Amino acid sequence: MSIGAHVLLIGASIIMLYPLLWLLSASLKPQEQIFTSGIWPTIDWSIDSYFRGWNGLRTSFSVFFMNSFVIAVLSVVGNLIACSMAAYAFARLRFKGRNFWFAMMLGTLMLPSQVTLIPQYVLFRDLGWINTILPLVVPKFLAVDAFFIFLMVQFFRGIPRELDEAAMMDGCSPWRIFYKIMLPLSMPVLVTVSIFTFIWTWDDFFAPLIYLNRMQDYTVMLGLRTFVDSTGESDYGGLFAMSVLSIVPIFLFFLFFQRLLIEGIATTGMKR
Amino acid sequence: MAVNAAEAAVPDAASGNSIWSRAWQNHAPGYLFLLPWFIGFFGLTVGPIITSFYLSFTDFDLLTPAEWVGVDNYVRMFTNDRSFAASMRVTFFFVIFSVPLKLAFALGVAVLLNRGMKGLPLYRALFYLPSLLGASVAIAILWRQIFARDGLVNDVLSIFGIVGPSWISNPNYSLWTLIILSIWQFGSPMIIFLAGLRQIPQDMYEAASLDGAGKWRQFVKITLPLLTPVVFFNAIIQTIEAFKSFTPAFIISGGTGAPINSTLFYTLYLYNEAFSFFRMGYASALAWFLLLLIACFTAFSFLTSKYWVHYDD
């Protein structure tokens, strides 16, 4: 029985991962072999596609990677600051209306972003923020990702209350308690939030598509899409090579933090 | 400004006398910590929701001021817009097939993995990876290629002597390729199922098996009922995600929902109305209808949940 289960799971893993391996292998094939060598990897490796793809557009992918990186890092910083502050207030501070605002915050979890999309676009346009990274980054500093607030609230509630109550007795201000006690004890959830923010911002296609219209501002995902439209039909090798590179940062996070990522997903599902 | 206020909030014997300063001491820190969230909540959520509702009753092209047209947008949606009807069909078809299949796979694999076998962390990680890469443009590009006429799927089929169609550009199959992509990403509900399975007390199975209940009976009588809260949670999250699905359809269809609207997801249609044709008023009405759909779906799920979701406490 157990052997049968293993065989089943190994088979399933191969089917699951084969598309990704195929992508990697296609990016390493000489251009003329990509569609002639069938489903098996070839031995005749070549990294030409990577060089061709990197400079395959008017703007090089180094610019796109830089843009994506800046946006993702600023988003992480924004989410860490703003979401942890809000979560601390909801989890630990007593003030009038706390339950009401907490319910409001949870309510935004369900709201489809399409509803706020157009007025937000108009707002950012009126502020002159189109073709800058501000519409992508500033909202993160305003704690728009309710999901992360919720995650942090759950974590903060697990920290023994005696710690901050004792500090409060000693005359510690909420700010001090927040950054001297809560934050240092919350590294696991802070890292989880950082990783997910980075990955989701890196992957995001919709917001950059709307707000960034000049090629020098493009993120990697917009660059890839442009590649499909302009040269993709002739240079599949380059397209696959850049696709592989675009998922490398996510893959690295996965490699180093998979345990944490998986626990992060599992705990959010377990709220009752 | 925030810094001054924060200092004022520091407990201080001298200022603790009057009611006002006491109230300030008690409530101000909470509101100050929430300040960024408040700005975001009112400026980027509540304000836009109200504006969007107003815009949905107007003609608005971004350049000239919005012009009030009453319920025209909504009337047009239901009486005179075949693309809207098509996008509703596509989206519902996608939700109805992708969500249950994805959850079934997720649950099946989770049950297999939950037997405390060797290599569990490795399998769990391998199955989760596609979910994590999720909405990436690279994955959509990969998918487009896998299901192309000269792509991987047809290469595999040709081993068995089958000549496959061009899946992506055939309207009979194109939506199914997106459903398969969605099922392929069953990893994150699987992990949530796994966490739920671990909560089920082992001795229940032991008792059942002493009573002579087989594996399947144990699954139906113990595992499923005790897992219903997790099934419910996963079903809601995945359905809402499915309603909002955008990137794969955009990349695979070249942004148009081609061929002949067979992959015109609701969000794709909304995007095109807003940002290709600049019919912002109409797009706002579409967004509000989406909100209504999701709200109805969620309310319906919660109302019916009491008949099939069992909480043990």
Looking at the domain assignment, is residue B217 inside a domain?
yes
- pLDDT computed for residue B296 by the predictor: 92
Looking at the domain assignment, is residue B79 inside a domain?
yes
Q: Which of B48, B135, B274 is nearest residue A205 as measured by Cβ atoms?
A: B135
Q: Which of A8, A19, A246 is nearest residue B136 as measured by Cβ atoms?
A: A246
Distance CA(A240)–CA(B202), nearest Å, equals 47
**pLDDT tens, residue by residue, B126-156:** 999 998 887 789 999 899 888 888 788 888 8
Q: B145 touching A, CB under 8 A?
A: yes
pLDDT for B2 beyond 50: no
Q: Which of A18, A49, A180, A265 to mutate to test the interface with B (most CBs of B within 10 A)?
A: A265
pLDDT for A270 beyond 70: no
CB atoms B247 and A247 under 8 Å: no
- pLDDT computed for residue B88 by the predictor: 94
Q: Span B142-171, mean pLDDT?
A: 85
pLDDT for A33 beyond 80: no
Give the tokens for residue A263.
């626990």
Higher per-residue confidence, A165 vs B180: B180
Phi-psi region of B163 (alpha: psi -120 to 50; beta: other; left: phi over 0): beta
Q: Which of B127, B156, B240 is nearest residue A16 as measured by Cβ atoms?
A: B127
Looking at the domain assignment, is residue B42 inside a domain?
no
Residue A121, CA atoms < 13 Å, CB-side half-sphere: 27
- Return the minimum-mean-pLDDT range out of A89-98, A123-132, B12-21, B200-209: B12-21
Find the angle CA(B123)-CA(A243)-CA(A192) to the nearest 5 degrees. 50
Tell me what the pLDDT averaged over chain B comes to.
87
CB atoms B298 and A110 under 8 Å: yes
Work out the burial of residue B82: count CB atoms within 10 Å of its CB; fewer than 13 is exposed, 13-18 middle, 19 or more buried.
exposed
A–B interface: beta-carbon pairs under 8 A: 267
Helices (H), chain A: 2-27, 48-54, 61-92, 98-110, 114-126, 134-141, 146-157, 161-169, 174-176, 183-185, 187-203, 206-211, 220-227, 236-269
CB atoms A5 and B55 under 8 Å: no
- pLDDT computed for residue A4 by the predictor: 81
Share of chain A above pLDDT 70, in %: 94
Count up the domains in chain B and report the number: 1
CATH number for the domain harbouring residue B191:
1.10.3720.10
**Domain that residue B193 falls in:** 72-307
Q: Which residue of B has its CA nearest to A174?
A: B29
Tell me what the pLDDT averaged over chain A comes to.
88
DSSP A258: H
- pLDDT computed for residue B79 by the predictor: 92
DSSP B223: I
**pLDDT tens, residue by residue, A202-222:** 999 999 999 999 999 999 999
- pLDDT computed for residue B8 by the predictor: 46
- pLDDT computed for residue B20 by the predictor: 79
Determine the longest span between alpha carbons in chain A, in angstroms: 74
CB atoms B270 and A243 under 8 Å: no
Looking at the domain assignment, is residue B51 inside a domain?
no
- pLDDT computed for residue A6 by the predictor: 83
Give the tokens for residue A32.
């003329």
CA–CA min distance A46, chain B (Å): 19
Q: Which of A119, A178, A228 is nearest residue B52 as measured by Cβ atoms?
A: A119
Q: Span A220-232, mean pLDDT?
A: 84
Q: B162 touching A, CB under 8 A?
A: no
Looking at the domain assignment, is residue B226 inside a domain?
yes
CB atoms A88 and B33 under 8 Å: yes
Q: Span B191-217, mean pLDDT?
A: 87
- Return the minimum-mean-pLDDT range out of A38-47, B158-167, B202-211: A38-47
Beta strands in chain B (DSSP E): 58-59, 67-68
Check: complex ipTM more than 0.90? no
Q: Span B22-44, mean pLDDT?
A: 89
pLDDT for B10 beyond 60: no
Q: Which of A111, A251, A262 is nearest residue B191 as measured by Cβ atoms?
A: A262
- Return the minimum-mean-pLDDT range out of B7-11, B159-163, B235-239: B7-11
- pLDDT computed for residue A37 by the predictor: 62
Q: A101 touching B, CB under 8 A?
A: yes
- Return the minimum-mean-pLDDT range out of A213-217, B21-25, B76-80: B21-25
Find the angle CA(B126)-CA(B131)-CA(B136) to the nearest 5 degrees. 120
When pLDDT is cut at 50, 70 and 90, the band that residue B271 belongs to is very high
- pLDDT computed for residue A134 by the predictor: 96
- pLDDT computed for residue A232 by the predictor: 54
Higher per-residue confidence, A122 vs A229: A122
Looking at the domain assignment, is residue B26 inside a domain?
no
CA–CA min distance B156, chain A (Å): 7
Residues of A whose CB is below 8 A from B24: none
Distance CA(A69)–CA(A206), nearest Å, equals 17
DSSP-assigned states of every residue in B135-160: T-HHHHHHHHHHTSTTSHHHHHHHHT
Looking at the domain assignment, is residue B289 inside a domain?
yes
**pLDDT tens, residue by residue, A181-210:** 999 999 989 999 999 999 999 999 999 999
Count other C-beta atoms under 10 Å from residue A239's C-beta. Answer: 27
Looking at the domain assignment, is residue B58 inside a domain?
no
